[in-house]
Amino acid sequence: MRFTETAVAGAKVIDPTPHADDRGRFMRAWCAREFADAGINFVPVQANMGYSVRKGTIRGMHYQTEPAPEAKLVRCTRGAIFDVVLDLRPGSPSYGQWYGTELSAENGRMLFLPEGCAHGCISLQDSTEIYYMTSAYYTPSAAGGVRFDDPAFGIQWPTEATVVSDQDRNWPLVKR
């Protein structure tokens, strides 16, 4: 795996190094030793999947706070998404900054998001599926979010948001 720093402190893009032959390809999706060697202390305790029927479906921007802050490792297993990490950690050198990249079943790319960062994505194709592991169990009392279109952050989504849940549409705007 190749680990690449992003504009958000501690967030990394992880590109697989697949082995291909006449059967197809094989690539590693998780290795505690490789992650530790890359400076990522991540122990997954839960795995989740999401499926979006239509292109333009927004999910996010979601995060968890104390007592259950979570880091995430996100991949796309079918279709393609534009995946975003947003730094909401007070005192972080990249507070308020975001980074986005395309994750697809084809490219096998993953995005690691450290604790204290919000996560969101938009489907770039119909019938898109994501799979992500978290370092904390889902804890409703710790769950929060910010608007995907909050002008305080200026996230530049590559396609129009056409399907948005009431929850994601109604997170309060942040005053910076």
Catalytic residues: 62, 132
Residue 174 phi/psi, 5-degree rounding, is -95, 140
H or E stretch at 33: helix 32-37
38 CA to centre of own chain: 18
H-type alpha helices, 47-88: none
The CA-based diameter of the chain, rounded to the nearest angstrom, is: 54
Mapped onto helix, strand or coil, the DSSP state of residue 81 is strand
Show the tokens assigned to 61: 């921007």
Distance CA 106, CA 5 (A): 21
